[in-house]
Structure 1
Amino acid sequence: MEGRNLKKYIKLLLIIQIYMIMLFSAGFLRIPPAHAFFEEQVKYGFEHRWLQMLVDTAPEKRFQAMQAFLTYPEWGLPVLRNSIKTPESDNHSWQIAMLIGMLGDASDIPLLLTSWRQLDKHERSEVWLGAMQRLYWKNYVPSKIIPKLKSLSVKYSKNVAEGDKDSNKSDLLYEIVNPAPVSRLIRVTLQFWQTRIQEKLPAKYFLIPAGGLLKTTMPVRILPVAHAKSVRLDFRIWEVGVSEPLFHRTVSIPSTGF
């Protein structure tokens, strides 16, 4: 039923196109070319109908909208991109991310990554990450040059430095350099050992351009065990979609600062 409705909609637009071509060719009307008129009508349909139907509560309407975008990506993809480019837009749904992952290219990865980070709740994160991974590997350019950890340091909070053991929040600062001639979509994981809380931090995702340098600060709260003189940190860099880390370094951090 949904497929027939879509075909009827497109058929109607084609009839309008043919009718406008006949009138224009006969010189009866002074109007813009019929093809431009047809494109405007299709664009309007995607912006004001199909896009909203992607998040409709009715499964059949969602399927119909998905079919429309997959059938006509040359008109639907720009609408999907614009829907999450607009800061005030609420159209940051996982359905849009999935379609961009299927129809887009590597230039869409920064857009998806930025939009995903801005979500209050990472609803269906596996879809967003899967879309970025799909685009990354679809346009993948291999390189044997891997990203490297340029620097890593801990900035202890003021209260901790003054000896307030109840306040042990600090900042972990690190820099990653990508000397390769291609961009890298990476996942950074940090795992602490010989601590009593927060041993494994949530993974962070970054897209580092060719020859780029990433600088980031991560708040951490570490409480070493009583007998330990240092805290062990395993720092790993993974290429998204690969099971083995590209880079792994073990760092010993003196526990006297915590």
Structure 2
Amino acid sequence: MRERTAPALSARQPGAVHSALSVLEAVAHLGAGVTAQRLSAELGLPRATTYRLLNLLVEDEFLVRTPDLAGFALGAKVAQLAAVAAPPVRLSSAARAVVDNARHRVRGGVHVVLFVDGRIVVIDADPDFPLSDHARLTREPGRFALGRLMLVDDPSAQGAAAEAARADLARWGATRQSGELAAVSGCLAVPLRDDAGRLAGALGFSGPRHRVDEPDTVLAALRPAADALAPLVV
């Protein structure tokens, strides 16, 4: 059987690589939600070239579409590279005590995340009730309560998903996903805000669907925990 050989590098490929890296750099600089049209204008690239590069970068998970599908954000591959380059954030002993207490009270998956440049960065996942699909959370954040919380924070986000998330946040002080990925389970996300009130992360819950459909008991533990945790991690 003949061994496959790597394709020869043509003279045009380095330019394409440079353009792709320029797109990644522009998305990082302009922030999550930047549109293809804006990127094309900023970089001086033809629109067709910009769309082709964006599609390739999304396919390879260097970029993801934002939950409203209107723009783009840095994806899982970039997060993996960043994690290698920078040491992981670790909870302080005070923050750890808050999270441990919340896990004891809730008895379900309680996770701490930060929102960085339109990405969900998991700071502390519950070891006893792990995230169901960490890779999918990074790739398709809008399918999870954590991603919907980011969506709500974007005033330009439109559509049924954004409106439902805003309604949940107004009613419960949290966003929800119930039975959409697995019929018997769901998740919640309570905001972590900085001193200026800006959304900086979330305290998430994952567990049985009925605890998400009727979230009062879970939220009675998560809301005060989020209030105590925010100044310790953001």
Q: Same fold (TM over 0.5)?
A: no
After TM superposition, the score normalised by the length of structure 1 is 0.27
Q: Is the strand fraction higher in 1 or 2?
A: 1
Higher relative contact order (CA 8 A, sep 6+): 2
More helix by share: 2
TM score, norm. by length of structure 2: 0.29
